[in-house]
A and B are shown apart, each in its own frame.
Chain A
Amino acid sequence: MDLALQIIASGLLTGGIYALLAVGLTLIFGVLRVVNFAHGEFMMLGMYGAFWMWALWDIDPYLSVFAVVPAIFGLGLLTDRLIIKRTIGAPEVTVVFATLGLSILLQNAALTVFSADTRSVTTGYTGTALSFGEVRVSIPMLISFVVAIGLALALWAFLSRTRFGKAIQATAQNRDAAALMGINVQRVYMMTYAIAVAGAGAMGAIAAPVFSVYPRVGLSFVITAFVIVVLGGLGSVLGAVIAALLVGLVQSVVGFLVGAAWAEIAYFVLFIAVLVLRPQGLFGRRGAEVYQGA
Chain B
Amino acid sequence: MADQTGAGPAVAEETTAAAAARRWGPMRVVAALAIIAVLLVFPYLLPSGFWVDMAVQVLIWGALASAWNLSAGYAGGLSLGHAAFLGVGAYTSTLLFLELDISPWLGMFAGAGVAGLLGLVLGAITLRLRGPFFVLATLAFGFVVHILAVNLRDLTRGAAGLVIPFDGGWENMLFASLEAYWYVGLGLVAVVVGITLWLERSRFGYYLTAIRENEDAARSVGVKVVRWKIVAAALSAALTAVAGTVYAQFVQYIDPDSTTEFELSVQIALIAIVGGMGTAFGPLLGAVVIIPLGEVLRAELGGGPSLMVYGALLVTIVLAAPRGALPWLQQLVRAARRRREVSA
Q: Which residues of B contact A29 (CB under 8 A)?
A: 132
- Nearest neighbor of A102 in chain B, beta-carbon distance: B315
B307 lies within 8 A of A108 (CB): yes
- Complex contact A276–B125 (CB within 8 A): yes
Least distance between B325 CB and chain A CB atoms (Å):
14
Out of A95, A269, A271, A275, name the residue touching B129 (CB < 8 Å): A275
B262 at the interface (CB under 8 A from A): yes
Stretch from A8-16, A136-144, A257-265 contacting the other chain: A257-265
| Residues from chain B with Cβ under 8 Å of A272 in the complex | 125-126, 137, 140-141
- Find out whether the CB atom of A93 lies under 8 angstroms from the CB atom of B315: no
User: Is A135 among interface residues, defined by CB-CB distance under 8 A?
Assistant: no
Is B78 interfacial (CB 8 A cutoff)? yes
Asked if A104 contacts B307 (CB within 8 A), the reply is yes
How far, in Å, is B41 (CB) from chain A's closest CB? 37
Interface size class of A (residues with CB under 8 A): 35 or more
Q: Which residues of B contact A108 (CB under 8 A)?
A: 303-305, 307-308, 310-311
A29 to B1, CA, bound (A): 16
Task: Look across to chain A and name the residue whose beta carbon is closest to the beta carbon of B323.
Answer: A91
| Contact, CB under 8 Å: A265 / B314 | no
A93 touches B304 (CB 8 A): no
Per-residue interface assignment for chain B, residues 1 to 41, with 1 indicating a CB less than 8 Å from any chain A CB and 0 otherwise:
11100000000000000000000000000000000000000
- Pick from B1, B148, B314: contact of A100, CB below 8 A: B314
Q: How far is the CA of A48 from the CA of B315 in the complex (A)?
A: 24
Determine whether the beta carbon of B141 is less than 8 Å from that of A90. Answer: no
Among B140, B143, B144, B314, the residue within 8 A (CB) of A101 is B314
Query: Complex: how many Å from CA A107 to CA B304?
Result: 8
Given A101-B318, A108-B308, A223-B143, A265-B136 contact (CB < 8 Å): no
Contact between chains at A291 and B311 (CB < 8 Å)? no
Q: Does A96 contact B (CB under 8 A)?
A: yes
- Determine if A254 is an interface residue (Cβ-Cβ < 8 Å): no
Judged by a CB distance under 8 angstroms, whether A219 is at the interface is yes
Q: Which residues of B contact A105 (CB under 8 A)?
A: 308, 311-312, 315
Q: Is the interface of A mostly helix, strand, loop or mixed?
A: helix
How many interface residues does B have (CB within 8 Å)?
48
The verdict on A67 contacting chain B, using a C-beta distance below 8 Å, is: no
**Closest chain B CB from A266 CB (angstroms):** 10
Please indicate the chain B residues that have their CB under 8 angstroms from the CB of A289 in the complex: 133
A104 to chain B, nearest CB (A): 3
A199 contacts chain B at the CB level, 8 A cutoff:
no
B227 part of interface (Cβ distance < 8 Å): no
A111 partner residues in chain B, CB cutoff 8 A: 303-304, 307
Query: Is B338 part of the binding interface, using a Cβ–Cβ cutoff of 8 Å?
Result: no
> Across the interface, which residues of B come within 8 angstroms of A33, CB to CB?
131-132
- Indicate if the CB atoms of A104 and B319 lie closer than 8 Å: no
Chain B interface helix/strand/loop/mixed: helix
Residue in contact with A35 in the complex, picked from B136, B143, B322, CB distance below 8 Å? B136
CA distance A231 to B126 in the complex (A): 16
- Give the nearest-CB partner of B125 in chain A: A276
Name the distance in Å between A289's Cβ and chain B's nearest Cβ: 7
In the complex, A177 Cα to B138 Cα: how many Å?
33
Which chain B residue has the least Cβ–Cβ distance from A279? B133
Complex interface: chain B residues within 8 A of A269 (CB): 144
Report B137-165 CB contacts with A as 1/0, cut-off 8 Å.
10111011001101100000000000000
For residue B208, CB closer than 8 A to chain A, the reply is no
Q: A268 touching B131 by the CB < 8 A rule?
A: no
Residue in contact with A230 in the complex, picked from B2, B136, B141, B319, CB distance below 8 Å: B136
| Cross-chain contact B131 with A92 (CB below 8 angstroms) | yes
> Which residue from A91, A104, A106, A230 sits with its C-beta under 8 Å from B1?
A91
Q: Flag whether B273 is at the interface (Cβ < 8 A).
A: yes
Q: Does B313 contact A (CB under 8 A)?
A: yes
The residue in A87, A93, A109 that gathers the most chain B C-beta atoms within 10 A of its C-beta is: A93
Q: Is A94 an interface residue (CB 8 A)?
A: yes
**Those of A63-120 within 8 Å (CB) of chain B:** 83, 86-87, 90-98, 100-109, 111-112
> Contact flags (1/0) for B263-299 with A, using CB distance below 8 Å?
0001001100100010000000000000000000000
A4 within 8 A of B: no
Which B residues are CB-close (under 8 A) to A94?
318-319, 322
Contact B319 A96 (CB under 8 A): no
Whether A226 is near chain B, meaning CB under 8 Å from some CB there, is yes
When distances are taken between beta carbons in the complex, the residues of chain B under 8 Å from A223 are 139, 143
Given known A-B contacts A101-B311, A264-B143, A293-B1, A90 and B319 have beta carbons under 8 A apart: yes
A66 CA to B270 CA, complexed, in Å: 37
Query: Do A265 and B318 touch across chains, with their CB atoms under 8 A apart?
Result: no
Give 16 A-B pairs besides A35-B136, A294-B1 with Cβ atoms closer than 8 angstroms. Answer: A34-B132, A35-B135, A104-B307, A108-B307, A108-B311, A112-B302, A219-B262, A223-B139, A262-B151, A271-B136, A272-B126, A272-B141, A275-B129, A275-B133, A276-B128, A293-B1
A-B contact pairs, 5 of them (CB 8 A): A97-B269, A108-B310, A108-B311, A275-B137, A276-B125
